[in-house]
Chains A and B, each alone.
Chain A
Amino acid sequence: TQLLEQSPQFLSIQEGENLTVYCNSSSVFSSLQWYRQEPGEGPVLLVTVVTGGEVKKLKRLTFQFGDARKDSSLHITAAQPGDTGLYLCAGGGGSNYKLTFGKGTLLTMNP
């Protein structure tokens, strides 16, 4: 069974701070996706990475896939209130259909 562990589970920051969340596994994935979920809504896809070592940027968000395709990180620069939510990573296996989701990192902002 493939498992993805996300850390930290909860993260509370001040506006303008930088942060990194992690997604780790002992299994190799053919692709790794990051989703963001807001309260009362479904997860929304942010990015897909498929190549070991790949780095993708989405405005202030930087996503990296580990060289061995077992882990990934999401870095947010100068966090804004609109960045809050549950960040989920999901790994795709050889079937390309089924995703294994981590339990997520809940990002909140201190008032």
Chain B
Amino acid sequence: DAGVIQSPRHEVTEMGQEVTLRCKPISGHNSLFWYRQTMMRGLELLIYFNNNVPIDDSGMPEDRFSAKMPNASFSTLKIQPSEPRDSAVYFCASSLGRIGEQYFGPGTRLTVT
């Protein structure tokens, strides 16, 4: 069975550019999560969706960040414009939502120069 798929795996961009990260959750899962991981802050929840609807976006740093889930098999996290402090590893995870067991993708390592 395919796990959570994320693309790209690595992204290097210049400050001010738009960045779009993509995620395909595990088929049948009804919750999707976007996290950011840094050495300083650890794993931070940015936003989560249930049945394609955003439930909690309180972790989104600022208006430069936006996320969408147009259907049950696809989600995007967009940063526009990007800044060097956005450099981190971004993870997508999905779950069935019953007791919160989450399955993570391999992550996208973002470097903003």
B98 touches A44 (CB 8 A): no
Nearest chain B CB to A3 CB, angstrom units: 11
- Name B67-103 residues within 8 Å CB distance of A: 91, 93, 95, 97-103
B43 near A43 (CB under 8 angstroms)? yes
Which of B4, B99, B106, B107 lies at the interface centre, i.e. has the most chain A CB atoms within 10 A of its CB? B99
Per-residue interface assignment for chain B, residues 44 to 74, with 1 indicating a CB less than 8 Å from any chain A CB and 0 otherwise: 0100101000011000000000000000000
- Select one of B42, B97, B98, B106 contacting A104, CB under 8 A: B42
The secondary structure that dominates the B interface is strand
Interface residue from A33, A96, A102 paired with B42 (Cβ < 8 Å): A102
Distance in angstroms from B28 CB to nearest chain A CB is 16
From B50, B91, B105, contact of A97 by CB (8 A): B50
Size of interface on B: residues with Cβ below 8 Å to A: 24
Whether B104 sits at the interface, judged by CB under 8 Å, is yes
Give the docked Cα–Cα distance between A49 and B71 (Å): 32
Known A41-B106, A43-B104, A98-B56; judge A92-B99 contact (CB<8 A).
yes
A88, CB-defined interface residue at 8 Å:
yes
B99 touches A96 (CB 8 A): yes
Closest residue to A50 on the B side, CB-wise? B99
Interface size class of A (residues with CB under 8 A): 20 to 34
Set of chain B residues within 8 Å of A103, measured between Cβ atoms: 41-43
Is A64's beta carbon under 8 Å from chain B? no
Would you list which residues of chain A between 67 and 104 have a CB under 8 Å from chain B? 88, 90, 92, 96-99, 101-104
Chain A residue, CB-CB nearest to B40: A103
Whether the Cβ atoms of A92 and B100 lie closer than 8 Å is yes
For A33, A43, A48, A92, which residue has the most chain B Cβ atoms within 10 angstroms? A43
Q: Which residues of B contact A42 (CB under 8 A)?
A: 4, 91, 93, 104-107
| Contact partner, B103, options A45, A48, A96, Cβ 8 Å | A45
17 intermolecular pairs with C-beta atoms under 8 Å apart:
A31-B100, A41-B106, A42-B93, A42-B107, A44-B104, A45-B101, A45-B102, A48-B101, A88-B43, A96-B97, A97-B95, A97-B97, A98-B100, A101-B42, A102-B42, A103-B42, A104-B42
